[in-house]
Amino acid sequence: MLAKRIIPCLDVKDGRTVKGVNFVDLRDAGDPVELAWNYSRQGADELVFLDITATHERRKTMIEMVKAVARQINIPFTIGGGIMEIADADALLNAGADKISINSAAVRNPGFIDELAKAFGVQFVVVAVDTRYDGNANIVHLNGGRIPTEKETLDWITEAESRGAGEILLTSMDHDGTKAGFDNNLLKIVNDVVNIPVIASGGAGSVQHFVDVFQKTNVDAALAASVFHYGQILIPDLKLALKNQNINVR
Amino acid sequence: MIGIVRYGAGNIFSLTSALDRLGITYGMINNEADFEQFDRYIIPGVGHAGAAMAKLENTGLVPKIKALNKPTLGICVGMQLLTAHSEEGDADLLNIIPVKTLKFKDEPGFKVPHTGWNNVYPQAGNPLFENIPADAHFYFVHSYYIEYDGAYTLASTNYINNFSASIWHNNFFGVQFHPEKSGEYGETLLKNFSKL
């Protein structure tokens, strides 16, 4: 039976992980490779690295990091952030990335999804969608939820799938950072509409939130950052709790 | 030493990284003469099976590959190439193992591509799966699968239907999952292959 996936997300700036991480036995909390290795040893099913570097050197530093991760890590990982053209994706693929995640570049140029799927296959293309409820509808937002677009979330996700997205990473900006649980209502609607895997993101604060998102929405994977980085939830404990609720995990 | 068949279908950095971590030596095969340097072979591959077969044909290596008598492992699309035919691109393939590669049927509640970790159930006693438990999880990502066949299926997995997670015929082996991305058990499988 296909297992539900647990995915820690790491923010990377200039080739170093940012946000506090307090693993006890970590020599260098800013080293993406060491962090990734620790997560894979704990039973993470997959990793996502989001590049938040804003400099011109970004591509070069990211490629070096991706190679270093691929050399050491034996689980799949996705790279997101700043992928604007086919050449960016190609360089990441050749450095060992399993998937890339695109967000604003796809919103601004939806044809980019088609191009990527054609060049590398749908399994390589994750479309990340940041969504926020504006009082009337769920609207796609850019720049970490700050800039609303004209697109309704459900329409955009359906379009992304039809263009060749292999997976949807849905972050509810209303829930992100609240630690009050995932946006299960929206995630259920989205998961029922598409026929590609959906990764839930935004709002994880407790083990019960992961139980809830899998039981209530049947999404394929759940992603979180700080609850893992700060050691509030340990992945082996989380997996055990999910198993005890008859949720199939590795 | 493993020879990796290079024919332009997909990236092999993760595969060679896994072999490096395991201390398994390897080299690249670009032409027919290269085969002689190695005692076993890997045919990698991602993407479109029909396109991959066209690329392989362009290398001129097809007759040599069909005549190999040393252990040979196809991974993902590299495994599908060993079969007779794929519905992806309606392509005739190497037909080293006479089974078919089919598209997953639409089934409510089952997403395609089949993405993630699923249980693999190998036949008991095959050295490729030595020291790997009978329901170990391996990492899959694929939209086409090789049909289950009692004569050639070495390991099965269930998704929408039972299919071949691994096939075997004489010296030819194939795995649909990615051993290089399948954690500890994936590494065990690569190690097992290096000792066949």
Mean pLDDT of chain B: 96
In chain A, the domains with their CATH numbers are 5-244 (3.20.20.70)
Judge whether A73 and A32 are in contact, CB under 8 Å: no
Residue B16 exposed, middle or buried by CB count within 10 Å (0-12, 13-18, 19+): buried
Residues of chain B in contact with residue A123, where contact means CB-CB under 8 angstroms, are: 46, 113, 115, 141-143
- Closest listed residue to residue A126, CA positions, set A94, A171, A91, A66: A171
Find the domain containing B106 and state its range: 2-195
For A197-211, what is each residue's pLDDT tens digit? 999 999 999 999 999
Q: The CATH number of the domain where B144 resides is what? A: 3.40.50.880
A27: pLDDT strictly greater than 60: no
Number of domains in chain B: 1
Least Cα separation, residue A151 to chain B (angstroms): 25
**ipTM of the shown complex:** 0.91
The percentage of residues in chain A with a pLDDT greater than 70, rounded to a whole number, is 94
Q: Which residue of B has its CA nearest to A43?
A: B183
pLDDT at residue A157 is higher than 90: yes
Grade residue A144 by pLDDT with cuts at 50, 70 and 90: confident
B145 secondary structure, DSSP code:
E
The answer to whether A118 contacts chain B (CB < 8 Å) is no
* B15: number of Cβ within 10 Å: 24
pLDDT at A16 over 70: yes
**Residue of chain A with shortest Cα separation from B17:** A71
Distance CA B189, CA B27 (A): 19
Q: Which residues of B touch A75 (CB under 8 A)?
A: 139, 181-183
Catalytically annotated residues of B: 76, 178, 180
pLDDT band at A28 (very low <50, low <70, confident <90, very high): low
Entry field: residues in chain B? 196
Of A3, A70, A76, nearest to B13 by CB-CB distance is A70
* Angstrom distance (rounded) from CA B82 to CA B85: 9
Q: Which of B10, B62, B2 is nearest to B28 (CA)?
A: B2
CA torsion through residues B59, B62, B63, B68, sign = positive
Taking only the tens place, the pLDDT of each residue in A100-114 is 999 999 999 999 999
CA distances from B120 to B113, B132, B136, B165, B187 (A): 17, 10, 6, 7, 15
pLDDT at B125: 92
Mind listing the pLDDT tens digit for each residue in A76-98?
A: 999 999 899 999 999 999 999 99
Q: Does residue A26 surpass a pLDDT of 70?
A: no
**Residue B157 forms beta bridges with which residues?**
B163
Whether residue B144 contacts residue B87, with contact meaning beta carbons closer than 8 Å, is answered with yes
Q: Is the pLDDT of residue A36 over 90?
A: yes
How distant is the Cα of A162 from the closest Cα of chain B, in angstroms? 13
Chain A interface, mutation test: which of B75, B177, B181, most A Cβ atoms within 10 Å? B181
Residue among B123, B164, B122 at smallest CA distance from B142: B164
Phi-psi region of B83 (alpha: psi -120 to 50; beta: other; left: phi over 0): beta
Beta strands in A161-197 (DSSP E): 167-172
Q: What pLDDT is stored for residue A107 in this prediction?
A: 96
Query: pLDDT under 70 in chain B at which residues?
Result: none
